[in-house]
């Protein structure tokens, strides 16, 4: 990807400073510092507890990345046609016998190092988490490169070396793509030198096919998982009402109601399906209703309880829909275990139980999380993808489409959903990859046919009639109502979330889930429209009466019954709104897409019945002159479709993907225009409430480091960057000379900042580069251990020292970013924000004629664009100090402050659910920066 491609990265965060030493699972690692018992283990062992995956997995000290990253232009080689000797050699000799050219990777030279007996005990250097006991034992060329090889040009400008990314930090997009280009260059050089040209071509093809293998495997896995989730959810949801009796008409206990009564036009004719009231022998009337209600309540609460316990005990990242976190991860943030194996298992099982409980939540959003978990696991089969965070995010963007594909039976809609809602960087190749992955998942789901109806989803319908011109008015009204619903729902859900976070006397998350499940069951059971599963409700609301064989909800009744249906539909929509607002955000897997569609469909069906009654009672009205006699003029099911699309657009603020999804659900091209009109009106009205959709609101609520590329969502103030940057007098900078290992270790111990600018000297302050905390800590630690075992008084420098002994000094230039992106200090904030958004930067340095003036980090930009400084000022959390994070110190030039490294880490752990819920006592404590 070119460096100017539009993409986003996550702001770097501070690491935890609370210590607790213990062996790293007995695999030879030293002691490490951790903040949370089970979750920080991924920093050492990875998502799948793989012992080979450590924080150093991206360390370019590996043999294949030994050459330094350089941006020097290679000397052009004369053409083979103008050099007779090379022409003859190329014709009569194999490539392996030719001499090496400048394009070939340099050969490592033998090392010449000296070492002392042991690391000095008086030097306090703690190893990074996951660091091996002897970090240089397996990478002997490291010290050769930095000390004894004059041919290695470490003066070359480049981003420097990197160690692996810690948990809850940002990735370096530019470095990751540079590393990928270097890998491709080495692969081409290696395959070009093989004596068998076809073998080299095959190697390149195999390397290029790795992404496709991952995506096809992901599509297969997602299709199988979606079919299993659909079948299990349908069965558990039906168990709340009864069971399929074995031995009667071929019934089996493990069959749901639809499968048990397959072949019957009406459910009442099915003898194999037995309701709980019949089983216990309750008579007709109130007694039977009470008995079945008690069973319904007990099973609903039990399912919700099991889902909450699974999430709390096995994978806290499996809660909610996962889409806000996915957007943040795809923007360049690292959240370990979020896409791990335990998260996949817990999300799948918990989703089945949560949906079967009858709570107002859906499985569409969580299925996207499930798909990305599958893709993340399959990338571990190919190190070239797994070890490159930028390529991994391209694969995740493509895999996200398969989740929506199996949720709605809409492959094209899934591709557009990933493009419009999730992905920040979505090139053309990713669109094609998304299409293949979504198509594979849909084909697998169609092959399993979980509903035994030939449909990918239960609520997939077709309509036989078209719409009339006068119906545009109610369609516009539905769009306006959808926008109002979206705006009010987001505000209500955010108020509930803030109240839940700030109220100390509330019980734990599991008890909250049980309370909401009990309340939902008590409200759902008396209302026939809310009693059933959301998928069944939406399926019947979408259905056309002429095609409906079994009218379970009485929607096709006429006359006086229609008025009662209208009242029940509106009441059900209002109650569902309240239940969904308090459910979305609980510590269980929960999506908001299907509940929003159900609420919109309830409203749309009510308006459709009103229009049908009006046309039936006043057929001569001027608006109905286009209706043909003796033929149904209005189809209330189409109003339900349009109402569902409007509600979904109002709550998510998506447009094109919703239109395509609804079109693929109905299969009627004629209804595309009404759906587009309703979606357009819904988005306009919803934007009048707030520019943020439900997912963006949760990102802002959790303070995830995500910069939206849309200026409409986050307007940029027209101010100079100098007003908000951290000025040089507030920065902790490092000079080129005058350091020792002990003094640099003291700097790391005294300042928890995530990086330090490097200048020539304190007077001139000519910018030389930038070194991150992780690289500096790793280099100091490695230098103090064998084979070098340098003493604490060893000189360390960041500039060329011609008289320095390379065996007795420490050259830090290889680990320093010698080409950081810089801007003039007088530039406008809009230009700096564009750098962060388009290049995926973590920091920008500001210079005037080479002199360092200040620094701006992504988290500074996030706070300015989201108004968090005013929030902190009013919350009473101010104190003296400055920002401590990716920058070298200082902060925004305001009176507000942010926590140090420990506070930031704890704040983020709370935001992503890793901290103890009992610690969330007040909004002042929990509102700490997660950046």
Per DSSP (E only), the strands in 524-627 are none
The string of DSSP codes covering 536-551 is HHHHHHH--GGG-S--
DSSP string, 834-874: HHHHHH--SEEEEEETTEEEEEEEHHHHHHHHHTHHHHHHH
Task: Provide φ and ψ at 751, rounded to 5°.
Answer: -125, 120
Distance of CA 367 to the CA centre of its chain: 12
Nearest to 174 by CA among 339, 421, 9, 28: 9
Residue 162 and residue 775 in contact, taking contact as beta carbons nearer than 8 Å? yes
**Burial grade of 96 (CB within 10 A; 0-12, 13-18, 19 or more):** exposed
Which pLDDT belongs to residue 562? Answer: 83
Measuring CA to CA, which residue among 688, 742, 726 is closest to residue 863? 726
- Alpha-carbon distance of 492 to 576, in angstroms, equals 13
Give the pLDDT means over successive 10-residue stretches in the chain (931 positions).
37 36 36 37 39 41 42 45 42 40 37 32 41 37 37 49 81 88 91 87 93 96 95 92 80 81 72 85 83 94 96 94 93 91 96 95 94 96 93 94 93 93 84 94 92 81 85 95 97 95 92 96 92 90 83 80 88 96 95 95 95 89 85 90 96 94 84 94 94 92 82 75 90 92 94 91 91 92 91 92 89 90 92 88 92 90 70 38 37 31 29 32 30 29
pLDDT at 211: 95
Residue 370 near residue 224 (C-beta atoms within 8 A):
no
Contacts of 346 (CB under 8 A, 6+ apart): 310, 311, 314, 315, 318
Closest by CA position to 700, among listed 909, 487, 862:
862
At residue 205, the pLDDT reads: 94
The whole-number pLDDT of residue 591 equals: 93
Query: Strand, coil or helix: what is 752?
Result: coil
Say what angle helices 173-192 and 197-208 make with each other, to 10 degrees.
160
- Which residue has tokens 């849309």? 710
Query: What is the token pair recorded at 819?
Result: 């080409």
From residue 838, alpha-carbon distances to 6, 182, 451, 834, 878 in Å are: 4, 22, 45, 6, 32
- The closest alpha carbon to 167, from 65, 346, 51, 38, belongs to 38
Q: What is the pLDDT at residue 160?
A: 67
Element housing 767 (H / E): strand 767-772
- Please, where are the H alpha helices in 703-765? 741-750
| CA 532 remoteness from chain centre | 31
Taking alpha carbons only, the member of 337, 336, 359, 356 closest to residue 346 is 337
Please provide residue 170's backbone torsions phi and psi, each rounded to the nearest 5 degrees.
-100, 160
The predicted model scores a pTM of 0.78
């Amino acid at each position: 990807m070119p460096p100017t491609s539009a993409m986003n990265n996550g702001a770097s965060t501070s690491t935890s400073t609370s210590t607790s030493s213990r062996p790293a699972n007995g695999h030879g690692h030293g002691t490490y510092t951790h903040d949370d018992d089970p979750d920080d283990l991924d920093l050492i062992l990875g998502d799948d507890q793989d012992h080979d995956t450590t924080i150093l997995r991206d360390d370019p000290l590996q043999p294949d990345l030994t050459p330094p990253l350089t941006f020097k232009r290679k000397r052009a080689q004369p053409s083979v046609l103008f050099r007779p000797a090379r022409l003859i050699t190329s014709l009569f000799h194999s490539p392996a016998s030719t001499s090496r050219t400048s394009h070939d990777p340099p050969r490592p030279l033998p090392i010449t190092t000296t070492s002392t007996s042991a690391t000095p005990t008086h030097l306090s250097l703690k190893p990074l988490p996951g660091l091996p006991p002897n970090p240089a034992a397996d990478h002997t060329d490291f010290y050769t490169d930095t000390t004894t090889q004059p041919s290695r040009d470490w003066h070359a400008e480049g981003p420097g070396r990197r160690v692996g990314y810690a948990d809850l930090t940002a990735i370096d997009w530019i470095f990751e793509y540079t590393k990928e280009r270097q890998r491709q260059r080495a692969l081409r050089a290696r395959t070009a030198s093989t004596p068998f040209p076809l073998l080299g071509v095959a190697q390149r093809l195999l390397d290029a096919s790795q992404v496709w293998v991952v995506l096809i495997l992901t599509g297969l896995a997602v299709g199988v998982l979606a079919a299993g989730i659909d079948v299990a959810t349908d069965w558990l949801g039906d168990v709340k009402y009864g069971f399929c009796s074995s031995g009667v008409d071929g019934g089996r206990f493990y069959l749901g109601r639809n499968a048990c009564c397959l072949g019957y036009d009406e459910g009442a004719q099915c003898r194999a399906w037995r309701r709980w009231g019949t089983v216990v022998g309750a008579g007709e009337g109130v007694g039977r209703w009470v008995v079945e209600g008690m069973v319904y309540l007990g099973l609903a609460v039990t399912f919700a309880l099991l889902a909450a316990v699974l999430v709390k005990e096995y994978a806290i990242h499996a809660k909610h829909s996962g889409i806000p976190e996915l957007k943040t991860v795809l923007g360049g943030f690292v959240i370990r275990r979020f896409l791990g194996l335990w998260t996949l298992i817990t999300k799948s099982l918990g989703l089945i139980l949560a949906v079967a409980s009858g709570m107002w939540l859906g499985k569409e959003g969580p299925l996207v999380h499930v798909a990305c978990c599958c893709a993340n696991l399959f990338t571990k089969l190919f190190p070239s993808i797994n070890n490159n965070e930028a390529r991994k995010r391209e694969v995740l963007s493509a895999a996200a489409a398969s989740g929506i594909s199996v949720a709605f039976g809409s492959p094209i809609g899934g591709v557009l959903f990933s493009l419009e809602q999730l992905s920040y960087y979505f090139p053309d190749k990713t669109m094609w990859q998304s299409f293949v992955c979504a198509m594979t998942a849909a084909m697998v789901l169609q092959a399993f046919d979980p509903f035994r109806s030939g449909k990918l989803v239960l609520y997939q319908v077709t309509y036989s009639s078209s719409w009339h011109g006068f119906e545009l008015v109610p369609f516009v009204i539905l769009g306006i109502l959808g926008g109002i619903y979206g705006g009010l729902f987001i505000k209500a859900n955010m108020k509930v979330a803030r109240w839940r976070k700030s109220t100390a006397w509330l019980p734990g998350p599991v008890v909250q889930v049980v309370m909401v499940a009990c309340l939902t069951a008590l409200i759902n059971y008396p209302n026939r429209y809310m009693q059933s599963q959301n998928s069944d409700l939406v399926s019947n609301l979408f259905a056309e009466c002429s095609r409906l064989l079994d009218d379970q909800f009485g929607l096709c009744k006429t006359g006086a019954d229609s008025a009662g249906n209208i009242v029940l539909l509106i009441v059900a929509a209002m109650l569902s709104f309240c239940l969904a607002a308090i459910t979305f955000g609980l510590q269980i897997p929960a999506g908001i897409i299907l509940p929003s569609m159900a609420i919109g469909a309830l409203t749309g069906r009510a308006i459709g019945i009103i229009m049908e009654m009006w046309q039936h009672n006043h057929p001569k009205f001027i608006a109905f002159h286009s209706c043909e006699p003796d033929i149904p003029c209005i189809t209330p099911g189409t109003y339900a479709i349009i109402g569902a699309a409007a509600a979904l657009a109002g709550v998510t603020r998506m447009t094109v993907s919703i239109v395509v999804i609804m079109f693929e659900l109905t299969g009627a091209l004629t209804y595309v225009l009404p759906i587009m009109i309703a979606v357009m009106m819904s988005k306009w009205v919803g934007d009048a409430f707030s520019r943020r959709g439900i997912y963006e609101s949760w990102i802002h609520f959790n303070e995830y480091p995500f910069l939206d590329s849309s200026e409409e969502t986050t307007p940029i103030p027209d101010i100079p960057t100098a007003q908000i940057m951290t000025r040089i007098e507030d920065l902790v900078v490092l000079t080129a000379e005058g350091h020792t290992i002990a003094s640099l270790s003291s700097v790391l111990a005294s300042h928890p900042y995530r990086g330090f600018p490097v200048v020539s000297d304190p007077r001139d302050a000519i910018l030389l580069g930038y070194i991150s905390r992780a690289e500096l800590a790793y280099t100091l630690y490695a230098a103090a251990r064998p084979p070098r075992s340098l003493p604490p008084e060893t000189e360390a420098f960041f500039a060329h020292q011609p008289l320095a002994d390379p065996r007795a000094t420490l050259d830090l230039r290889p680990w320093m970013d010698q080409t950081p992106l810089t801007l003039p200090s007088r530039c406008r904030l809009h230009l700096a924000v564009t750098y962060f958004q388009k290049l995926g930067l973590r920091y920008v340095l500001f210079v005037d004629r080479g002199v360092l003036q200040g620094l701006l980090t992504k988290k500074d930009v996030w706070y300015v664009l989201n108004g968090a400084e005013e929030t902190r000022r009013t919350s009473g959390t101010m104190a003296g100090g400055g920002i401590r994070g990716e920058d070298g110190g200082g902060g925004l030039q305001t009176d507000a402050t942010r926590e140090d490294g420990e506070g930031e880490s704890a704040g983020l752990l709370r935001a992503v659910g890793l901290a103890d819920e009992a610690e969330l006592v007040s909004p002042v404590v929990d509102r700490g920066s997660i950046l």
